[in-house]
Chain A
């Protein structure tokens, strides 16, 4: 609010109205911020939890899948879709009953902030897959996820953007040193790898 000299008058003047509008916007912004904080936090936790679940499942089941194979891509696609669906479901459930919960500015910021980098990551993944560079997919996916967390959580409590930065860094590192697809001799006929990662 810009300081200005105002005299006490009976009738409101345009300056007072401008201040009133500004105050109303400020109230709305504070309310939206608090609503978004509530609605988003569950979504974040669920999304991150979903990815953690996917990682755990990969360690349990993914060892039977050769990295770079079509089955491997389907598995990761399923894990991503599951975690995203869980996040959206948790967010909807938490914001239900709150006026303007999903259409609020923080809600839109979250959807577009997270959604756009994930969509770009999906396109890059498809491109990498078609170019025969499937070993790049984990790095691309992790980087896109990190970018989404960073963009969607830019104004959230510090651990959220920090998580995004860490994921992006990890994704970058993973992309720059992708694991080589296994040779037929490293994947036994049963499909079970003998690598330590699967133990």
Chain B
């Protein structure tokens, strides 16, 4: 059993997930950092790990975890190589990832329009 604060946080998270599911939002992409990763990759052929980290202002661990989630979903392709003895990781947006971003943006725009219409 967690503290009351933890329970409220968990309930909030569940309610938000349910609301997002009701709105038809993709749970893989509907997370701030993952959204940033996909958005940044949409404008570039590929981005290095360090470039993405600087761009999004996140930690190594955070970026690794969220990039792996996107990779598992097939939205991002990861290429690991070496530059001399230095490991290098390149991220690339897949066709599925690009389509998911387009769907997400369309859904967000539809949502905003629906509320504005009242």
Contact = CB atoms under 8 A, between A and B. Distances in A.
B15 A34 contact: no
Given A34-B41, A34-B44, A34-B47, A16 B19 contact: yes
A34 to B, nearest CB: 4
B3 interface: no
A133 interface: no
Interface stretch (B48-56, B66-74, B79-87): B48-56
B49 to A, nearest CB: 13
Interface in A93-145: 98
Nearest to B108: A20
Contact of A7 (B19, B38, B51, B112): B19
Given A17-B115, A23-B35, A12 B40 contact: no
A104 B112 CA distance: 23
A30 interface: yes
Given A4-B12, A34-B44, A34-B55, A23 B108 contact: yes
Dominant secondary structure at the B interface? helix
A20 B44 CA distance: 24
Interface in A1-38: 1, 3-14, 16-17, 20-21, 23-24, 26-31, 33-35, 37-38
B9 A31 contact: no
Contacts of A196: none
Nearest to B57: A155
A150 B30 CA distance: 35
Dominant secondary structure at the A interface? helix
B111 A30 contact: no
B6 interface: no
Nearest to B53: A157
Contact of A5 (B12, B35, B105): B12
Contacts of A11: 114
Contacts of A28: 39
B40 A34 contact: yes
Contact of A33 (B55, B105, B108, B116): B55
A3 B17 CA distance: 12
Nearest to A100: B43
Contact of A8 (B18, B36, B47, B105): B18
9 contacts: A4-B12, A5-B12, A6-B12, A6-B19, A7-B18, A17-B112, A24-B108, A27-B35, A34-B44
